[in-house]
Structure 1
Amino acid sequence: MSVIPTIQKALVLPAKYAEYAVRTVPVPRPGPGRLLIKVRAVALNPVDWKIQKNGILYHEFPAIAGSDIAGTVEEVGEGVQGFALGDRVIEQGAFTIPTSGFQQYAVANPAVTAKIPDGLSFEQGATIPVGLITAALGLYTRGLPPGKELDHGSAGLQAPWEEGGRGKYTGKPFFVFGAASSVGQFVVQLARLSGFSPIIATASPHNADFLRSLGVTHVLDRKLSLEQLRAEIAKITKEPLDVIYDAVSLPETQLAAYELLEPGGTLVLVLYSAIPAEKLASEPKKRVVKAYGQANFPQENLAVAAVLYKHLTAWLEEGAIKPNRVEVLPGGLEGIPEGLERLRTDRVSGVKLVARPQETA
């Protein structure tokens, strides 16, 4: 195992609203109960450009972003079991400098770290953590406070990793808006593990074959109007849509999803609700929740994520969970800002942008 350096390259946000820049910073140390990961690949997410452009999440600077991390274990903190030096792993950063992925070394929480099979590249592995946990937390988290609309919430389904959970919802239809998005792809795969069928999804037609390979049974053009969607759904199933996951959560998709949802059902969003208040008030039996895609906190999320991560390696080996398709950005950390601008301006479709921090000049 290589000697751990004391300094490293990182993509730093020097101040709120400042531009990202590559700087030299200290290598964090793991401490008891933590791992040190050499970051071989880090995937980009919309939250990373929102941190910079909208000034969210970080209040102390300089700051480092990046949540989707794949790499090798370089140091095992006191008390950590189940991991050894050199293990190939994936994990999710927690919006703190030591745990963030836009750097060459990061500290990881072993409770939400999983080994990845040899047949999976670091780049593929880095596409998994944020998308998968956002999908899972929106579907399966339990014990959340009651309410129609929450900062974070869940459909409260029985998870496929629980006894009797795999295949539990056989014969029940499931609808996903934006199935080709990173989150949408994992929603589809979890819905398949849960047994839902048919799995109906909106997407661009050119992504149809790929989505069928993940478990979608019927792909509907994302440009269809609400009435056209109703007509197509009626051809597919007469069963009520009790769970709809809107993985894009644009105002128009939210409203369409809410209209299609059965009274008593749950609509899961990835952004805050843009459904008019009068519409929500007119159909009070429909529940709207927002998935919060962070495995490390709050405690309800960590409890779900820790169990999911115990099953994740086996699911990856089985092929039950497959990574997103990858586009590697050139230049290591230097390539990330341009990638974030592409995300911000909606110039990415059907792939996950990934950087290799170790290639930073």
Structure 2
Amino acid sequence: MPDETKTRIQKLANAAQISFAERALLKDRNRFLFKINNEAKARRSTRSIVLGKAKVMSFEDLEEAKVRRAAKDKAAAQKGQCGRKRKEPAKLPEIFKAASNSGDDIAGFVHAVGTNVYEFKPGDRVAAFHEMMKPGGSYAEYAVAWQYMTSHIPDNLSFEEASTIPLAGLTAVVGNYIRLGLPEPWKPAAEKVPFLVYGAASAVGAFAIKLARLSNIHPIIGVAGRGIPYAESLIDKTKGDVIIDYRNGNEAVVAGIKDALENAGASDIYHAFDAVSDKGSHTDVVAVLAPEGQVTYVFPLEQTAPPGFSYPKTYKSAQFSNVGDAYGENRQQGFMYLRWLFRMVMEGKFTAHPHEVVPGGLAGVSQGLQNLKAGKASAVKYVYKVPDTEGAGQD
């Protein structure tokens, strides 16, 4: 890269006028570059609606100059759908004391591929999971994701719906199958496996329940609040599944879980997924989980648990469900499950999370974050359509 080009890019970066993805283009490989064209149509069920066309460009082994030229030539293009989890990302700056481009759910069309990319071609409808805390997040005109963290999506799924699945869905996968070791869907449980999901209406909790049902895991005991109507739509009460209202207080939650176990003819819970990691969830789980049980949680204990809290040493395991493992040490499982989730959508056995499109594109992110932090969203993920951003695509 010529020195003058490096200098110009550095100045742009310093002036915050260059997107995270544009910076990523300078060094990353084997990724996808997302772009959007407003004029395309996406098909949803039997009707066609204008959504904005997300384009994806893999730049593995592409010459940097060629990629930069492609980005420049299509500066009028815009990015498409990106998702925001129900509440947790709004807490990230407070928990980790750092800022980042946290848009990690992406959906769109493939724009171009590099020489080592063999699974995708231009025009493919895809969804992807962006590597967290890295350049190229989806809250920009360009976003990037690893090839193996990208999946084709079926025609019966809109981009908005698809963008609700990658991060939360893979978090549920890590929790259910990698951390807790629950029976996988292709080897479903043959006997009762009581399963506690704290935060049943959250995106992660809801996906954990959906996966559990595909694994024939029952009784499922969920804990939720305002999202109870949605959470109850996910369970099978004929198999002992139940949703408990945490708004009645921690003592009532513990009593309700124990009653649900008894009513289902089960004596102990050995598997718990804390998809909230807040509001007393840690201690409630300890109050009902068997001494040799297993628990997984969505945030590190040191940032979210009460002072001095620790899980009993008798537990078989107590582990953080770090979704980063889906593209890290457990990337094979992550790769397989991401593709499998969208196949289940195609077969009608798995569904996206309820979503709400926030007006204004990226201009709506601030309001969305404030709503999340204030707890105004329940059983819903916010989706931002970048082409709706005023001035998007302009030089």
TM (normalized to structure 2)? Answer: 0.73
Counterpart in the other structure of 2:318: 288
Counterpart in the other structure of 1:49: 90
Counterpart in the other structure of 1:194: 215
Change in 2 beyond 3 A, CA 1:112/1:169: farther
Counterpart in the other structure of 1:35: 32
Counterpart in the other structure of 1:308: 337
Change in 2 beyond 3 A, CA 1:313/1:229: closer
Instruction: Quote the offset at 1:241 in angstroms.
Output: 0.8
In the alignment, the residues of structure 1 paired with residue 123 and residue 325 of structure 2 have an alpha-carbon distance, to the nearest angstrom, of: 23
In the alignment, the residues of structure 1 paired with residue 195 and residue 172 of structure 2 have an alpha-carbon distance, to the nearest angstrom, of: 13
Instruction: Quote the offset at 1:57 in angstroms.
Output: 5.6
Q: Confirm or deny: 8 A CA contact 1:205 1:220 kept in the other structure.
A: no
What SS does structure 1 have at the residue aligned with 2:340? helix
Greater displacement, 34-43 / 227-236: 227-236
More helix by share: 2
Identity of aligned residues (%): 29
Change in 2 beyond 3 A, CA 1:360/1:346: same
In the alignment, the residues of structure 1 paired with residue 338 and residue 286 of structure 2 have an alpha-carbon distance, to the nearest angstrom, of: 31
What SS does structure 2 have at the residue aligned with 1:186? helix
Which of 119, 127, 130 is the equivalent residue of 1:90?
127
Q: Deviations over 1:86-136 (max 9, x none)?
A: 212111111355431101222221211111111211111111111111111
What SS does structure 1 have at the residue aligned with 2:387? helix
Greater displacement, 230-239 / 65-74: 230-239
What SS does structure 2 have at the residue aligned with 1:106? coil
Does 1:172 find its partner at 2:196?
no
Does 1:157 find its partner at 2:182?
yes
What SS does structure 2 have at the residue aligned with 1:64? coil
In the alignment, the residues of structure 2 paired with residue 357 and residue 128 of structure 1 have an alpha-carbon distance, to the nearest angstrom, of: 18
Structure possessing the higher radius of gyration over alpha carbons = 2
Does 1:332 find its partner at 2:361?
yes
One-letter amino acid of the counterpart of residue 104, structure 1? E
Q: Which runs of 5+ in 1 are unaligned?
A: 1-13, 16-20, 142-153
Which of 129, 138, 144 is the equivalent residue of 2:175?
138
One-letter amino acid of the counterpart of residue 193, structure 1? L
In the alignment, the residues of structure 2 paired with residue 48 and residue 22 of structure 1 have an alpha-carbon distance, to the nearest angstrom, of: 22
Q: Which runs of 5+ in 2 are unaligned?
A: 1-12, 36-78, 391-395
In the alignment, the residues of structure 1 paired with residue 308 and residue 385 of structure 2 have an alpha-carbon distance, to the nearest angstrom, of: 44
Q: Confirm or deny: 8 A CA contact 1:31 1:77 kept in the other structure.
A: no
Which of 232, 240, 245 is the equivalent residue of 1:221?
245
Residue pairs, 1:186-265, within 5 angstroms: 186-204=207-225, 207-208=228-229, 210-216=230-236, 217-224=241-248, 225=252, 226-265=254-293
In the alignment, the residues of structure 1 paired with residue 306 and residue 93 of structure 2 have an alpha-carbon distance, to the nearest angstrom, of: 27
Instruction: Quote the offset at 1:316 in angstroms.
Output: 1.1
Instruction: Quote the offset at 1:359 in angstroms.
Output: 1.5
What SS does structure 2 have at the residue aligned with 1:265? strand
What SS does structure 2 have at the residue aligned with 1:223? helix
Aligned length: 320
TM (normalized to structure 1)? Answer: 0.79
What SS does structure 2 have at the residue aligned with 1:334? helix
Instruction: Quote the offset at 1:290 in angstroms.
Output: 1.2
Q: Deviations over 1:292-337 (max 9, x none)?
A: 122554322x222011123223111012221111111111111111
